[in-house]
Amino acid sequence: MDRVALRGLKARGHHGVFPKEREEGQTFIVDLVLGLDTRSAAADDDLAKTVHYGIVAQEVAAVVEGEPANLIETLAERIAQTCLKHEGVQEVEVCVHKPDAPITVPFDDVTVTITRSRV
């Protein structure tokens, strides 16, 4: 399976279990790896035969900016399901970064990574 990756997609959302997170929001960063067969698209040099990563990026940003969730696990699942709606996408790996998580000790990042497929 071929891979199309989007790394470092940033959007502001209001996800989290604490009231301050819901009220003020924060930036979330999303990395995606989409699994699909790109041979036909490459052979014909045809965007319609692959996944349009610009559209995927817009849709993922809309999910992050949309309905709040308590958990970034829930957010990752919503993103995965959005990506799998694209006909050619057979699987997706989603990594949601929450670099401003409300943790009281020094840290660089918090992530949740999931993999989902059609089968």
Is residue 20 annotated as part of the catalytic site, yes or no?
Answer: no
Residue 67 is classified by DSSP as S
For 81-113, give one letter per residue: b (16+ CB within 10 A) or e. Answer: ebbbebebbbbbbbbbbbeeeeeeeeeeeeebe
Catalytic residue among 20, 49, 85, 98: 98
Helix, strand, coil percentages, rounded to 5, for the chain = 35, 30, 35
Residues 102, 94 contacting (CB under 8 angstroms): no
Active site residues: 98
